[in-house]
Amino acid sequence: MKKMIVHTNQRTYPLIIGAGIHLQLADYLKQVGIDEKNKILIITDHHVAPLYLEGIKKALSDFDTRSYIIQAGEHAKSIEQTEKIVQIAIEEGLSR
């Protein structure tokens, strides 16, 4: 596992990279203050979902997870898609 710190103009955040890292995701979320009471929305695309979505859901089985699959590609990166994701988050009662 490799951890890097990313600095942007607005904030700083960790980037963690490693094979099988998703197996440690629940522990990491708990370390940063996200517990099982929090709902989690997993956003992925239709290329990545078949490869990793079920594994991520299994790794987060202690959490209340939802998932949303978008089309892959630049056309999916739109204001309309962002609005749809925000609407889903609101409907699911996500806190942030």
Question: Per residue in 43-65, pLDDT tens?
Answer: 999 999 999 999 999 999 999 99
Strand intervals (E) in the chain = 2-7, 12-17, 39-45, 64-70
Tell me the whole-structure pTM to 2 decimals.
Answer: 0.78
pLDDT band at 94 (very low <50, low <70, confident <90, very high): confident
Q: What is the pLDDT of residue 66?
A: 93
Q: What is the pLDDT of residue 55?
A: 93
Q: What is the pLDDT of residue 13?
A: 87
